[in-house]
Amino acid sequence: MLLYLVFIPVKVCSIRSYEGFLSSRINCGMTEMLDIYNQYVSLADTSSMFNDLSDQLPVLQKAVVQVDNFLIKLLSGLPFDSGIKRVVHKSKHINMGNTLILAISVVLLILSFGSAYGMRIELFSDKGQDKSDDGICKSMAEPHNYVCEEHTVRTGDGYILGLQRIPVGQSGGTSRDRPPVLLQHGILADGTTWILLPPGKSLAFLLADNGFDVWIANSRGTASSGHVSLSPSDAAFWDWSWDKLASFDLPAAFAYVHQQTKQRVHYVGYSQGSLIALAALSKKHLLSMLRSAALLSPISYMGHISSPLVRVAAENFMAERLYQLGHNEFNPIGDAATKMLKDICQKSGIDCSKFLTAFTGQNCCINKSIVQAFLNHKPQSSSMKNMVHLSQMMRNGTISMYNYGEKDENIQHYGKPRPPSYDMKSIPNDVPLFLSYGGADALSDVKDVKLLLKSLSDHDGDKLVIQYQEDYAHLDFIMAENAREIVYDPLVAFLTLQ
């Protein structure tokens, strides 16, 4: 999910003007943050506040413009519009500006919508299970009586990634000759995506119970990853975008599963997990190890993303500005932001599930307990560079490699002044593909999916299965109560036939 407006670890100052912000450095608490929030809310029409997000976009835009004016004073001369020119600033004042962009001008406005589902949800509950201590297997699979193994794989550029294996179903048996399937999560998530729901509903458990040898991947930057020489506190640890996931993480996971099982591998990718697979396949990677690929809520072209918050972020270069300010990690569970959101979620009349809808579209079929399970297993970090890359794709409407902004830097990395594109038409026509998308998805918009399907128009008819669910939004594919009947059972049938 592209929730990159929501959570940034922050410190804020109560200020009366941006000039005052420049001349002072005061560490403030939650009261001051909410005071600033109230100042922004006062800009809106309180008689019909937040009944419709589209009505409040001018408020968001005004906040963005105000913050832009402030940042321009700090970053005058930087080429915002043509790309990114990374500048390291030593001023401690700069590190506080992101709060005004994200935590106040966007998130708090959205959280004030009112109750849409008639439910109250505690955001990132302290009572929630933290799988980072015990591992995903011990905390989430073994309690349901599934055999689960923890594995690690090293990428070509030194990252160490966790893999979980569920070799057999609840009834036991042997993993010999079971076809392997690799599950790849989306952005700001990890392998828990596939085992959040109970047996009979989670895709990983369903596949294991239906005779598959299930492997769960975890991308770099998640709690299930590390590096041979770098620490997450090092800027270099976060110097990557999804290009690297396609060229390093995914091939490493495929090679490991292929080597362990001696079989070609089925693949299921959700959201960004579909993007990296499409990119790799367009470069003719993975083909010797791939048996079939299933893409759920596929991210590919992004020019028509309809989430207004995501569009505001991309069109106003928010990720670029934060990257310029020295934010390398995009950490969605920073302590200050988490505390702020918890406090707000406890206020009467505020529905904290609404922020999910604001980003992902109107999910049709998820209930309170499922959302709570998702929030309890906290979102994972990505890199700010990855957020910049995705923003570039939204503005340009292309599937291209990361744009360094400066021609010389692009030439240094790619041998040409502009980043190369991933050509979806280059995906071999005989690769078995299962593609499932939803009509209410604000991140994998129908128009963008149709562009992808147009690129695949020459694909062998008997090798391409397309499923469209009109009322599904982005989270329904992994959290819907009826996902088994709507998506997973047809998916299992597809894999079984390959």
- Which of the residues are catalytic? 271, 441, 474
User: Which of 198, 196, 221 has its CA nearest to residue 209?
Assistant: 198
The residues that bridge with 296 in the sheet, in sequence order, are 270, 436
User: Measured between alpha carbons, how far is 398 from 395 in angstroms, rounded to an integer?
Assistant: 8
The residues that bridge with 166 in the sheet, in sequence order, are 214
User: Measured between alpha carbons, how far is 291 from 181 in angstroms, rounded to an integer?
Assistant: 9
Q: What is the phi/psi pair of residue 420, to 5°?
A: -65, 155
Burial 153-178 (b: 16+ CB within 10 A, else e): bebeeebebbbbbbbbbeeeeebeeb
Residue 32: how many CB atoms within 10 A of its CB? 15
User: Measured between alpha carbons, how far is 119 from 60 in angstroms, rounded to an integer?
Assistant: 26
Q: What is the phi/psi pair of residue 98, to 5°?
A: -65, -25
User: Which of 106, 411, 380, 83 has its CA nearest to residue 238?
Assistant: 380
Between helices 335-345 and 30-41, what is the axis angle to 10°? 60
The residues that bridge with 433 in the sheet, in sequence order, are 293, 464
Residue 40: how many CB atoms within 10 A of its CB? 19
- Widest CA span in the chain: 69
Residue 165: strand, helix, or coil: strand
User: Which of 493, 367, 362 has its CA nearest to residue 436?
Assistant: 493
Q: Which 8-state DSSP code applies to residue 100?
A: I
- At 124, list the tokens: 């990132």
- At 303, list the tokens: 């020019």
Residue type, 235: A
Residue with tokens 């993303």: 305
DSSP per residue, 187-232: TT--GGGGGSSPTTTSHHHHHHHTT-EEEEE--TTSTTEEESS--T
- At 482, list the tokens: 């009826």
Residue type, 297: S
User: Measured between alpha carbons, how far is 226 from 240 in angstroms, rounded to an integer?
Assistant: 14
- At 251, list the tokens: 């091939």
User: Measured between alpha carbons, how far is 326 from 324 in angstroms, rounded to an integer?
Assistant: 5
- 349, 350, 353, 359: CA torsion to nearest 10: 130
